[in-house]
Chain A
Amino acid sequence: MSQLTPDYLLIQIFNGLVNGGFYALLALGLSIIFGMLRIVNFAHGTMYMLGAFVAYYGAQEIHLPFFAALIVAPLVVGAFGLLLEVTLLRRLYGLDPLYNLLLTFALVLVIEDLMRLVAGALGSPYETPAMLAGATNLGFTEYPTYRLFVIVVSVIVCAAVYVIIERTQLGAKIRAATEKPDLTRAFGIDTSRLVSATFAFGVALAALGGVLAAPNTNVQPTMGDSVIINTFAIVVIGGMGSILGSIVAGFALGVIAAVGAVLFPPIANTLIFIVMVLVILFRPAGLFGKPERAA
């Protein structure tokens, strides 16, 4: 165990915030999709992976700069998600939501394998953008600038999504369509358009996470596999369908996991699941969820 100085722990907390940022973005997207469409999107990790690859191929083929990729990749993957929703997922809406879970599970197999055929199973190189390379002096340590950037972006995006959903008219419509779809339709609001747009948006958030991850992680077709299960756990902990829950749980668990990795290494990868089981036992709806309709 390394020297457990306060400085070191502070560094760990920052690292946790970086990871937490990813978790929050992914959990947010998953939660929005679940809250609105009652779909547990098993393919969420795959969308994250696609975001990273759009950034990679963008850079390869058209010299797409990183900052542009932050916008382009979510748009592209969002459009793809829209296509999936309209052509496939929509057919299963009237049924038990478990069917959509299974369909998205099947999509993971297909999309990941197709990606492997295109990109190979090994990693594809993606560099940290030059402007964000190097380290910044935070006082207690020199910390990679890129990681600070990730924290800033994820906090801003999460805050923006929260504000949009909780405080704007559009957000009110979304919330209404989530809680009482029939009533909302009776008011003349086109819920099916809203539903499709929401799915696309949730998926776009995952893709954004993928672009942010690309400089730091191995960009490979199975990179989504390692995040999806953790993301599920975080959404459950925060409360399925709760925006605030996903954000808070995401950042919190990122920090807990990072600190846990140095304090209790043997159980570090199971920490998230243990917390999840405890939450389900003692606060079944999640930390911020409404004790509502059991899914």
Chain B
Amino acid sequence: MIAGRRAALVGVALLAIGLVLPFVHGVYIVFAIDLVCFALAAVAFDLLLGFTGLLSFGHALFWGGAGYVSTILIAHGVTSFPLAVLAGVGYAFVLSVVVGAVAVRRSGIYFAMITLAIGEIQYFVAFQLIDLTGGENGLPEPTRGTLFGLSLENDHVYYYLVLAIAAAGTLLAVRAVTSPFGAVLAAMRENETRAKSIGYDTDRFKLAAFVMSGTLAGLAGALYAGANRLASLDAVDWHTSGAIVMMTILGGIGTIYGPIVGAAVFQSLDFFVSKTAIGDKTNIVMGLVFAIVILVARRGIVGELLHHLNARRPRFVEDEDDPDRLVADVAGETA
């Protein structure tokens, strides 16, 4: 579903929308930046859920943790934006290796519980390290820093930078899942025991996927802290982990581009509904939408769309000899 020309078109279309988003009437620029950050986080999350089959309920660990690290550095005088963000990403990377090593030994519910619990530990630590994190007040980011001398204070400049980074991150994710690495992940998802018996160290692959997912989510989180010029406890709260899960499922797990749509829909609903007359019932709306999706449209927006598109016309699969060519699937074997 991800490879091939059709998928590439989807990617380009999303990018085009991203390019013109700030000009759409009613879209506020900071909201747009936040949206792109969440989109990247959802893509990262999908790597883990859609392609490795692991549900993490603790992605706020990386999203929020990296946000804090980069903000702490800037608050202590680091003016180079890449440096601060890289530090955040580095923190997410190390954390994901450590957490992953513990968590991937288990799967399913246990995996979710471990990530949830470790996420809570980080939350409480962030609460307690008041001098470093500002405690419940959060840590304001005095400046966004500079990128090769260019100031990032202008929201529009920052937006396009974030968009570029998010696009690159998505590209990386796409590359990963369409590579031989991704093929092994797919095999593991289908039948882990068989994959093991062929000789793949499935735990290693799961760990690799987890680290990739966590690091990318950390990147998104560091950029997000810059968007709002604030690192806050909400970012390391399990409710944020839950929001990322919801966005991904809303868009469609296992589709990489789906979570981008999911994040956009989720954030838009959240932001705009909270401004309407029923604004105080936003949670009910979000909960209902999510419940309905789980009950009747589990594949998510993009997933359901792709499913119906595929059902109507003859299916195309990649030619075995030339992956860039699509041939009609006459035998109808592929799902």
Chain A: residues with CB nearer than 8 A to chain B?
34, 40, 88, 91-92, 95, 97-99, 101-103, 105-110, 112-114, 117, 229, 232-233, 236, 240, 266, 269-270, 273-274, 276-277, 280-281, 284, 294-295
Contacts and interface: CB of A to CB of B under 8 A. Distances in A.
A107 B287 contact: yes
A109 B287 contact: yes
A98 B253 CA distance: 13
Nearest to A276: B117
B70 to A, nearest CB: 24
A40 B109 contact: yes
A98 B48 CA distance: 14
A269 B117 CA distance: 11
B110 A107 contact: no
Contact of A276 (B113, B128, B287, B288): B113
Nearest to B239: A225
Contact of B120 (A240, A266, A270): A270
19 contacts: A92-B295, A97-B108, A99-B294, A101-B109, A103-B295, A105-B242, A106-B246, A109-B290, A113-B283, A114-B284, A229-B116, A266-B128, A273-B118, A273-B120, A276-B113, A277-B118, A280-B106, A294-B110, A295-B108
A106 B109 contact: no
Instruction: Give 4 closest A-B pairs by Cβ, nearest first.
Output: A109-B287, A110-B287, A106-B291, A295-B109
Given A102-B246, A236-B113, A280-B113, 10 more contacts: A99-B298, A101-B109, A103-B291, A109-B283, A229-B116, A236-B117, A270-B120, A280-B106, A280-B110, A295-B110
B278 to A, nearest CB: 11
Given A88-B295, A109-B284, A232-B116, A102 B110 contact: no
A40 B284 CA distance: 21
A270 B116 contact: no
A270 to B, nearest CB: 5
Interface of B: 55, 102, 105-110, 112-114, 116-118, 120-121, 124-125, 128, 238, 242, 245-246, 249, 280-281, 283-284, 286-288, 290-291, 294-295, 298
Nearest to A34: B109
Given A99-B294, A99-B298, A113-B283, A294 B107 contact: yes
A117 B106 CA distance: 40
Contacts of A97: 108-109
Given A109-B284, A240-B109, A98 B55 contact: yes
Given A98-B55, A266-B128, A277-B102, A236 B110 contact: yes
Given A92-B294, A102-B294, A117-B281, A108 B120 contact: no
Given A232-B113, A233-B117, A294 B249 contact: no
Given A88-B295, A270-B124, A273-B117, A101 B287 contact: no
B23 to A, nearest CB: 33
B319 to A, nearest CB: 32
Contacts of B110: 236, 240, 280, 284, 294-295
Contacts of A273: 117-118, 120-121
Max chain A Cβ within 10 angstroms of own Cβ: one of B109, B238, B249: B109
A284 B106 contact: yes
A107 B102 CA distance: 30
B277 to A, nearest CB: 14
Contacts of A294: 106-108, 110
A91 B112 CA distance: 22
Contacts of A269: 124
Nearest to B291: A106
Nearest to A232: B113
Contact of B114 (A98, A240, A280): A280
Contacts of B295: 88, 91-92, 103
